[in-house]
Amino acid sequence: MLLNRDWTPLELSLWISGWAGLLALVAGTGLAWIFARLNFRGKWLLEGVTMLPLVLPPTVLGYYLLVALGRRGIGPTFEQAFGFSLVFSWPGAVVAAVIAALPLVIQAVKPGILDLSRETEDAARVDGCSELQVFRFVTLPLIRASLLSGGILAFLRAMGEFGATLMVAGNIPGRTQTLSMAVYDAVQASNLDLANRLVLLLSVITFALLFIALRIGNQVRHGAEA
Amino acid sequence: MPLAVFACALVACAALPLRTGPQSAPATDAAGAITVAGAADLQFAFTEIAELFEAQTGHRVTLVFGSTGQLAQQIENGAPYDLFVAANIEFVDDLAQKGLIVPESVALYARGRIALVVNKQSGIRAATLQDLTAAQVRRIAIANPDHAPYGLAARQALESAGLWEALRPRLVLGENVRQALQFVQAGDVPAGIVALSVANVPEVTYAPIDDALHQPLDQALGLVSTSKNPAIAMDFARFINGEHGRPIMRKYGFLLPDETR
């Protein structure tokens, strides 16, 4: 149903970025916890791989995804099982955005976990908390500032995603044409009036969110000091 | 607490488009909708033809423009297009051999021409390819010959005129012929070689280039094998080649299949 509806670029950008932000936050927090707390063989390799999207050219990332998710990869199997395709559809754009945003979440959340005093968690354990309760009622609240900034960064990174998405999801009006794609399309068609409006819209949304993120981040920090 | 607010905001954001969808799927199901992958030289002509088709049939046509090579590549990777309208038949035949285009649907619909375009404010006067050798023509825009048929035709024309080696350092490659034209329209590049069908824009002057200088640009279309609406897609294909589409194609400088010789 959602795959066949007609999206405006704004709706599509918010929808994709919302999903990508949420998924990247969950996965990134898990990975950050693993990297901060656990030691195992090959950890450096896993950490390196999750950081790769920061430095890889978007076209390389896009190509990997296209090969992995398309006809030559898991595409046919996936489509058979779930009834929709991961390439040239918005779920593909979500996958690209999650991978692009993952390193930002890890980098935002990992220092928060490292800074955490383990004695506080131990105290909760002594008081009879289960591991799950420790995580839910002690660890999570203590790193909420990093989670917040990680989540907003992920959302913004997803809003700005272009290169890998273009390769994996294409630029199909109503289906995969996000705001950043629409800008590219409008400039290519010499529709500068439309391009100006889209660029303004994107700039306002991203700046406003960034501003809110910084404000909340400040408040949390001051709250913690008081 | 802020985290909870943030999570709610994310969910609200994600849910937002769900509630604001008056023109969602059910409305279009009755009439039907197709996605057409068209070569960039068709941008103006097809925008007009698609509007006419929509008005007459009630079906919806979404146009995706790109270089023929790029669109073919996307189809190979499973892009959900219904009709592939290429600028060169070779790409359509190639996909048909791979089973991605229905062979019986392949049909010629036009022969294209290339044109020399010059930005009006560049102060350059160029009517022939030889004029491009003037020192003031510091940059020349063409589409990428590797995957854009009109870029290849531009290259062949320059080669036939014996200018390719001399002018090659000045070339700026657009991703498709529409982007090459945009470089000239914006004035960042003073001159270019693009499709005649898109050359009639206010910012540039244009002159057709002798079509004996390049291989014929025989443009063909074909039904994508995975199309979910093959009947509508074939209706649109016939519309292009029929009494309504042909005058529009002619208006944009295309030669029609039975008029080429």
pLDDT digits (tens, 9 = 90+) for B75-128: 999 899 999 999 999 999 999 999 999 999 999 999 999 999 999 999 888 889
Q: How far is B204 from chain A (nearest CA, A)?
A: 13
B254 occurs within a structural domain: yes
Q: Which of A103-117, A128-142, B43-57 has the highest mean pLDDT?
A: B43-57
Q: Is residue B239 part of a domain?
A: yes
Using an 8 Å Cβ cutoff, are A152 and A213 in contact?
yes
Note the maximum CA span of chain B. 75
The confidence score (pLDDT) of residue B242 equals 92
Residues B161 and B247 grouped into a single domain = no
Q: Residue A136 has what pLDDT?
A: 87
pLDDT at B199 over 90: yes
pLDDT of A97-127, one tens digit each? 999 999 999 999 998 898 888 888 889 889 9
User: Rounded mean pLDDT of B9-34?
Assistant: 50
Q: Do A88 and B64 touch (CB under 8 A)?
A: no
User: Is this prediction's ipTM beyond 0.85?
Assistant: no
Q: What is the CATH number of the domain that holds B140?
A: 3.40.190.10
Per the structure, the count of domains in chain A is: 1
Give the one of A12, A22, A170 whose C-beta lies nearest to B79's C-beta: A170
What's residue A223's pLDDT? 56
| B232 in any annotated domain | yes
Find the domain containing A174 and state its range.
9-225
- Beta-strand pair B217-223/B107-112: antiparallel
Distance CA(B22)–CA(A189), nearest Å, equals: 28
Over residues B56-77, mean pLDDT: 94
Domain boundary among B178, B197, B213: B213
Give per-residue pLDDT as tens, A80-97.
898 888 999 999 999 999
- Is there a domain that residue A2 lies in? no
Q: Which residue has the higher pLDDT, B25 or A14?
A: A14
Q: What 3 state SS string does chain B have?
A: CHHHHHHHHHHHHHHHHHHCCCCCHHHHHHHCEEEEEEEHHHHHHHHHHHHHHHHHHCCEEEEEEECHHHHHHHHHCCCCCCEEECCCHHHHHHHHHCCCECHHHCEEEEEECEEEEEEHHHCCCCCCHHHHHCCCCCCEEEECCCCCHHHHHHHHHHHHCCCHHHHHHHEEEECCHHHHHHHHHHCCCCEEEEEHHHCCCCCEEEEECCHHHCCCEEEEEEEECCCCCHHHHHHHHHHHCCCCHHHHHHHCCCECHHHCC
Per the structure, the complete domain to which residue B156 belongs is given by 113-213
Average pLDDT over all residues of chain A: 89
Query: What is the dihedral sign for C-alpha B8, B11, B12, B13?
Result: positive
How many domains does one find in chain B? 2
pTM: 0.82
Taking only the tens place, the pLDDT of each residue in A145-171 is: 889 889 999 999 999 999 999 999 999
Per-residue pLDDT at B231 exceeds 60: yes
Q: Are B75 and B164 members of one domain?
A: no
- List CB contacts (< 8 A) between B178 and chain A: 188-189
What is the band of B59 on the pLDDT scale with cuts at 50, 70, 90? very high
Same domain for B203 and B189? yes
Q: Is residue B137 in some structural domain? A: yes
What is the rounded average pLDDT of the residues A202-224?
78
What is the structure's pLDDT at B255?
A: 92
Residue B12's pLDDT is what?
Answer: 52
Q: Is the Cβ pair A170, B182 closer than 8 Å?
A: no
Whether residue B146 is found in the same domain as residue B187: yes
Last residue of one domain, picked from the residues B178, B198, B213: B213
| CB pairs < 8 Å spanning A and B | 105
| Residues B124 and B239 reside in one and the same domain | no
A137-A142-A148 Cα angle (round to 5): 110
What pLDDT does A219 receive? 67
Residue A3 forms part of a structural domain: no
Distance from CA of A4 to the nearest CA of B (A): 6
Q: Read off the CATH number of the domain in which A185 is found.
A: 1.10.3720.10
User: What rounded mean pLDDT belongs to chain B?
Assistant: 88
- Same structural domain for residues B205 and B234? no
For the segment A42-86, what is each residue's pLDDT rounded down to a tens digit?
Answer: 999 999 999 999 999 999 999 999 999 988 889 889 988 988 889
Contact across the interface for B2 and A4, Cβ inside 8 Å: no
pLDDT attached to residue A221: 61
